[in-house]
């Protein structure tokens, strides 16, 4: 709890610490959905899963989580082609390589940090094709739109993707 001292002294702010054998009562906290409230949560996977479960009845987009570990993807990676629209390049992405690595090897710089799909730094606009999202940054609603992807871990569901790079 590195920033606990920076939290305001406000009755709307409460700190619950497992170190003090305290537990959140998620049923009480998330019982009634509110359109004027957003839920922000980061922490261990067990906590995030419990908050997601307790908040299923909240409006889409109300819950925002930050994970420090990408999910395990059981689906094998497939190869595909990528067109870098602004650069005028078409590249092949083999199953064993990341899209980010292939783009960087072609000399196109892409801001990146985690390379695990957890930070969002490498978010790239998708102009055509269907991304296969393997990140934990985008919400299911954002993933369904398919207009951006995290190129460090995400791939293509289609044989060809066109990116704004």
Contact (Cβ atoms closer than 8 angstroms) between residue 51 and residue 63: yes
Q: How many structural domains is the chain composed of? A: 2
With respect to residue 89, please indicate whether it lies within any of the assigned structural domains.
yes
Does 24 share its domain with 58? yes
With respect to residue 157, please indicate whether it lies within any of the assigned structural domains.
yes
With respect to residue 134, please indicate whether it lies within any of the assigned structural domains.
yes
Name the pairing type of β-strands 39-42 and 63-66: parallel
pLDDT on residue 2: 83
pTM equals 0.76
Task: Output the domain CATH number for residue 62.
Answer: 3.40.50.80
Domain boundary among 44, 66, 88: 66
Q: Quote the CA–CA distance of 105 and 93 in Å, as a whole number.
A: 11
Does 45 share its domain with 103? no
Query: Which residue range is the domain that position 109 belongs to?
Result: 80-163
With respect to residue 72, please indicate whether it lies within any of the assigned structural domains.
no
With respect to residue 57, please indicate whether it lies within any of the assigned structural domains.
yes
Residue with tokens 């991304």: 131
Does 90 share its domain with 147? yes
With respect to residue 71, please indicate whether it lies within any of the assigned structural domains.
no
Question: Could you report the per-residue pLDDT of 36-66, keeping only the tens digit for each?
Answer: 999 988 888 889 999 999 999 999 889 988 8
pLDDT on residue 67: 83
pLDDT band at 128, cuts 50/70/90? very high
Question: Could you report the per-residue pLDDT of 20-34, keeping only the tens digit for each?
Answer: 888 889 999 999 999
pLDDT on residue 72: 79
In this model, does residue 18 exceed pLDDT 90? Answer: no
Does 100 share its domain with 60? no
Contact (Cβ atoms closer than 8 angstroms) between residue 121 and residue 149: no
Neighbour tally for 58: CB within 10 Å: 18
With respect to residue 74, please indicate whether it lies within any of the assigned structural domains.
no
Q: Quote the CA–CA distance of 86 and 59 in Å, as a whole number.
A: 37
pLDDT on residue 113: 93
With respect to residue 87, please indicate whether it lies within any of the assigned structural domains.
yes
């Amino acid at each position: 709890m590195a920033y606990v001292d920076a939290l305001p002294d406000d009755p709307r702010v409460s700190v619950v610490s497992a170190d003090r054998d305290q537990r959140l009562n998620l049923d009480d906290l998330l019982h009634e959905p509110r359109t004027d409230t957003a839920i922000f949560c980061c922490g261990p996977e067990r906590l995030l899963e419990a908050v997601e479960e307790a908040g299923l009845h909240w409006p889409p987009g109300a819950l925002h989580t930050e994970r420090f570990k990408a999910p395990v993807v059981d689906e094998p990676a497939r190869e595909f082609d990528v067109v870098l629209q602004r650069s005028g390049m078409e590249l092949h992405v083999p199953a064993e390589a990341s899209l980010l690595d292939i783009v960087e090897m072609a000399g196109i710089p892409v801001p990146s940090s985690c390379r695990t799909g957890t930070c969002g730094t490498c978010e790239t606009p998708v102009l055509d094709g269907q991304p296969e999202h393997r990140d934990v940054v985008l919400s299911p609603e954002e993933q369904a739109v398919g207009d951006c992807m995290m190129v460090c871990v995400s791939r293509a569901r289609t044989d060809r993707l066109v990116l704004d790079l």
